[in-house]
Every structure is written in C-alpha cells, then in structure tokens.
Amino acid sequence: MTAAYLDAAATAPLRPEARAAMLAVWDAGQANASSVHSAGFRARAEVDAARDRIAQALGARPGEVVFTSGGTEANTLAIVGLALARPRGRHLVTSAIEHSSVLESCRYLERVFGFELTVVPVDAWGRVAPEAVAAALRPDTTLLSVGLANAEVGTVQSINALAELAAVFGIPVHTDAVQAAASLPVSFGSRPESAGIAAWPGRGITAMTVASHKFGGPQGVGALLLRAGTPVEAVLHGGGQEGGVRSGTENVAGIAGFAAAVSAATSTVGATAWELMASREALVRGVLAAVPGTALTGDPEERLPGHASFTVAGVSGESLLVALDAAGLAVSSGSACAAGQSDPSPVLLAMGVAPELAQTALRCTLPAPISERTRERFVDVLRAEVSRATGTRV
Ligand SMILES: Cc1ncc(COP(=O)(O)O)c(C=O)c1O
C-alpha cells in the first residue's frame, strides 16, 4: 500500500529545490548575516538573493519583503504593527473565518489597547459579503484584515471589492495569503510587469502574509509583504534586523529554502492549478456520489484548486482521520493549525453549520493531482468507516 499525503494545506511536502537550497547554505558553513567577515557576507548575500527571488515571484519590491518566523508572526506583525503605528479611531474590521493568528491579534488589541473590533459574518459558502464590510467600515477605521482564501474550506474572497471599499476612507488592508499564494497566481502588484490576472490582489492591499511551508519550503519561516512607506510598529524588539521592523538573527537556510520553494511553486502555478482542480473535482464527485451523508463545505467554484472539504453526517472527524491514516491516507479534520482541538470548527459554525455536523469536518488538500487508485481507496475507506460508525450497510 503506497501512502498518500493529502494534507498540503497543513504543510506541503518539501520541494527538492528547497531542500537543496538549505543544504547548500549549511554545507557552505552557517554564519550570521550581520557578521562582518566573509562567511557573514555570504550569509547576507543569501538573504538578499532570497528576498529578491521572493519579491520577483510575488510581484513585490525587495524592500517590501519582511522575513518572519512564519504566517502567524507575519499576521501578528501586520495587525498589531499597522494598528499601533496608525491607530486612527482604534477600530478594526475582520471576518468571522480568519485564521486564529488574525483573530487573536485583533482580540489582543481589543483587550490590551482598547481597540473596538467588528467581526463581519460570512455566508453559507464562507464568503465575506462586500455589503457587510461596507456597513462595518468607518472613516476612522484603523485596519481591514480579510484572508485571501480560507484554510479549512478553501473559499477564495473577492478581496479587491473589499479593498475598494476600504480605499474610500483610506483604510489600510491586510490579507492573509498563506493558503492562496501557494496554489493561485498572486501578486502584490508593485512591479510594472505584474498586470492582468497576475496582479491579483494587487496595489489595493497594504500588507500580505505568506508562509514558506505552504509552498513546499521549510516550516518556521514566512514573510509579510508591506507596501513601501507604510508605517509599522515592530512587534519583536532587539537588534533591528529587517529594517528595524523584525529583530532577530535571520534564519538564513530557512529563508533560502523558502525562496527556492516560492520560485518553484509560482513558476508553474497557473498550469498546475487546472490539473489540481480537475483531480479535486473528481475526488469531490466520487465522495458525494458514493458516501451517504457527505456534503461539500465552502464555495463550490470560488475555492482553492486542491481543496476538498466535507462534513460527514454521523461520523466524528477524528475517527475518520484514524481510519484513513490506517489506510495510508493523511488528511485533516478542519484545520491542523488548531490541532488538538475537538471543538466544532469555528469556521463551519460561522458558515451556519450545526455544531454536531461541524464536528464531522474532513479536509483533503492535494499537493498534486492524485491517481484514480488513490481516489478510489479514499472513497472506499470513507464509505466503510461511515458504514461502521452509523451501523448502516452502504
Ligand atoms: C490561512 C493561514 N494563515 C496563517 C497560518 C499560520 O502560518 P504558520 O503555520 O506559518 O504560522 C496558517 C496555517 O498554517 C494558515 O492556514
């Protein structure tokens, strides 16, 4: 039995390019990028080259890339850093289905700095309605933060429509692109050559979060793309690395691996998205047709290409994971970023799914198209587990 890894949204498999880039840094001799000797200069050159590659691949200028320890830190820096630098009316707007690092950063500002927080609802497909955002924004709103695509159900937001609403009042917009940037053509729009579809979400966005391990790079490294000239308060204080915005010795090998993964992923992203989508659609059709009680969660069309997420009535997500793992199929129940939680997914609850059904969430996120055999094995195991758990013959 060959194992199949269908959990790319939690962490994508390491790309060979990323592994090679990290090994090259370590083999050359690890050094501090701030040191004033040849090894230090080499480390600095690695970081600079990686910054250029990431900026190029994501339509940003090199000076707009701030390296962090991952998506969580980049989201925290965006929200806390932008809000504290320019509090305006101390009012934040976000959506009910954001990653916990976004929601908790907003709640931190609410708790400790007295900000007011408006959490905009979503519809049954996980879409943030522009009308709801329009109703929430005020001339004194500090920041709007809405993720480009949701990690649990894959729904992609109409971020540009939301950004246009924010622009009316000159409100900065942050988007968490941790999931979207890894499988859709995404650009920060700072380079003249980034036009057309590749310029999405583009210049209406002030700050955008990306994380290495979703592109197939190493874990524990990411970046905040921050529009040139945007005032931001540092969250980590110390030696003043990353232009004073993010102190701490740079993770040189991790940054090199991150850049290699981003370059590899973005160079094929358009073509692979279609293949991935076709494979995902076949999986979704197979599950819905053969497994009673299953329903697709998230927007059926405006969703990430490799994302298949379901509820499975009558069977706990945890027991499905165990059965699928025993059959060599690695998937997730809801979001692995909130691992260890057996509470119903807050994302599904926000979409109006009943708590009991929200506890049955199952998520497959394909790193690459899957074979017919893998698809059939997945459907067979799922059907058998549903039959066992519900006591029905299917
Ligand atoms: C949408 C989204 N934002 C942020 C994060 C956090 O990123 P990291 O794991 O790099 O801290 C994740 C999960 O990994 C995510 O899926």
Delineate the domains of the chain, giving CATH numbers in brackets: 4-12+270-390 (3.90.1150.10), 16-267 (3.40.640.10)
Q: Could you tell me the distance, in angstroms and rounded to a whole number, from the CA of residue 38 to the centre of ligand 1?
A: 35
What are 272-326's pLDDT values in tens digits?
A: 899 999 999 999 999 999 999 999 999 999 999 999 999 999 999 889 999 999 9
Would the CB of 179 count as within 6 Å of ligand 1? yes
Task: Tell me if 106 CB under 6 Å of ligand 1.
Answer: no
What is the structure's pLDDT at 191?
83
* pLDDT for the residue 131: 97
**Average pLDDT of 16-33?**
98
Q: What is the mean pLDDT of residues 109-126?
A: 98
Question: What's the mean per-residue pLDDT of the chain?
Answer: 95
- Lowest average pLDDT, out of 83-87, 161-165, 253-257, 332-336, goes to 332-336
Q: What is the DSSP letter of 244?
A: G
Give the pLDDT score at 193. 63
Cα–Cα distance measured from residue 134 to residue 93, given in angstroms and rounded to the nearest whole number: 10
In whole angstroms, what is the distance from residue 159 CA to residue 182 CA?
17
Which of 101, 105, 221, 224 has most ligand 1 atoms within 8 Å of CB, for mutation?
101
Nearest atom, ligand 1, residue 220 CA: 10
Whether 106 is catalytic is no
Average pLDDT over residues 262-280: 93
| Angle, helix 252-290 to helix 372-390, in steps of 10 degrees | 60
Above pLDDT 90, what percent of the chain? 90
**pLDDT of the residue at 194:** 56
CB 137 within 8 A of CB 144: yes
The answer to whether residue 339 scores a pLDDT higher than 60 is no
Q: What angle do CA 68, 235, 187 make, to 5 degrees?
A: 45
Based on its alpha-carbon atoms, the radius of gyration of the chain, rounded to whole angstroms, reads: 21
State the pLDDT at residue 20.
98
Confidence at residue 343, expressed as pLDDT on a 0 to 100 scale: 81
Q: For residues 111 and 63, is the Cβ–Cβ distance under 8 A?
A: no
Residue from 94, 155, 337 whose mutation best tests the ligand 1 pocket (most atoms within 8 A of CB): 337
Which residues, including other chains, have CB under 8 Å from residue 193's CB and lie 6 or more apart?
Answer: none
Residue 392 pLDDT grade (very low, low, confident, very high; cuts 50, 70, 90):
confident
- DSSP structural state of residue 338: G
Q: What angle do CA 274, 275, 280 make, to 5 degrees?
A: 95
Which of 31-45, 184-198, 257-271, 325-339 has the largest mean confidence?
31-45
Q: Report how far residue 41's alpha carbon sits from residue 83's, in angstroms, rounded to the nearest whole number.
A: 35
Average pLDDT over residues 214-220: 98
Catalytic option among 165, 181, 308, 337: 337
In the structure encoding, which two tokens stand for residue 302, read together?
A: 């405006």
Closest protein CA for atom 7 of ligand 1: 71
Rounded to 10 deg, the angle between the 252-290 and 16-28 helix axes is 160
> Looking at per-residue confidence, does 157 or 334 come out higher?
157
Residue type at 378? F
pLDDT band at 270 (very low <50, low <70, confident <90, very high): confident
**pLDDT of 264 higher than 90:** yes
Ligand 1 lined by 99 (C-beta under 6 Å): yes
Which pLDDT score is estimated for 340?
52
Sign of CA dihedral 12, 13, 17, 19: positive
Where residue 43 falls (left for φ over 0; alpha for ψ -120 to 50; beta otherwise) is alpha
Residue 152, ligand 1, Cβ within 6 A? no
Pairwise CA distance, residues 197 & 303, whole Å: 16
Separation between Cα atoms, residue 227 and residue 221, nearest integer Å: 20
Ligand 1 centroid – CA 178 distance (Å)? 6
- The CA distance from 54 to 1, in Å, is 38
Helix (H, G, I), strand (E, B) or coil at 176: strand
Is residue 161 within 8 Å of 205, Cβ to Cβ? no
Ligand 1, atom 14: closest residue by C-alpha: 337
CA 100 to ligand 1 center in whole angstroms: 9
Q: Residue 337: pLDDT above 50?
A: no
C-alpha of residue 51 to centroid of ligand 1, in Å: 20
